[in-house]
Amino acid sequence: MNPRELTVTEHLVELRKRLLICAVFFVIALIVGFYLAEPIIKYIQYSKEAEQLTLNAFNVTDPLVIYLQVTVFVAFVLSSPLLLHQIWLFITPGLHETERKATLKYIPYSFILFIAGASFSYFVLFPYVMHFMMGLSADLEIKQTIGINAYFSFLFRLVMPFGIVFQLPVVTLFLARLGILNPELMVKFRKYAYFVLVVIAVFLAPPDFISNVIVAIPLFVIYEISIIIARRGYRKFLQAEAMLLEEERIAAEREQVERLLAEQRRQIEELND
pLDDT along the chain (273 residues), means of 10: 59 83 91 92 82 77 88 90 84 70 78 88 83 78 79 84 86 83 87 88 72 82 89 81 74 75 71 65
Nearest C-alpha neighbor of 38 from the set 61, 62, 67, 59: 67
Using a CB cutoff of 8 Å and minimum separation of 24, what contacts does 93-98 make? 93/2, 93/6, 93/14, 94/1, 94/2, 95/1, 95/178, 96/1, 96/240, 96/244, 98/240
Cβ count near 222 (within 10 Å):
20
Question: Where are the domains positioned within the chain?
Answer: 1-161, 167-273
Q: What is the rounded distance in angstroms from the CA atom of residue 165 to the CA atom of residue 172?
A: 12
Nearest 10 degrees: Cα torsion 39, 40, 43, 44: -150
CB 77 within 8 A of CB 30: no
Q: What is the pLDDT of residue 206?
A: 64
CB 152 within 8 A of CB 66: yes
Q: What is the pLDDT of residue 6?
A: 61
pTM for this model (two decimals): 0.74
Q: What is the pLDDT of residue 30?
A: 93
Cα 55 to chain centroid, rounded = 33
Q: What is the pLDDT of residue 178?
A: 77
Q: What is the rounded distance in angstroms from the CA atom of residue 226 to the CA atom of residue 183?
A: 9
**Angle between helical axes of 209-272 and 97-104 (0-180°, round to 10):** 160
Q: SS in 3 state form for the chain?
A: CCCCCCCHHHHHHHHHHHHHHHHHHHHHHHHHHHHHHHHHHHHHHCCCCCCCCCEECCCCCHHHHHHHHHHHHHHHHHHHHHHHHHHHHHHHHHCCHHHHHHHHCHHHHHHHHHHHHHHHHHHHHHHHHHHHHHHHHHHCCCCCCEEHHHHHHHHHHHHHHHHHHCCHHHHHHHHHHCCCCCHHHHHHCHHHHHHHHHHHHHHHCCCCHHHHHHHHHHHHHHHHHHHHHHHHHHHHHHHHHHHHHHHHHHHHHHHHHHHHHHHHHHHHHHHHC
**Which residues are paired to 56 by β-bridges?**
147
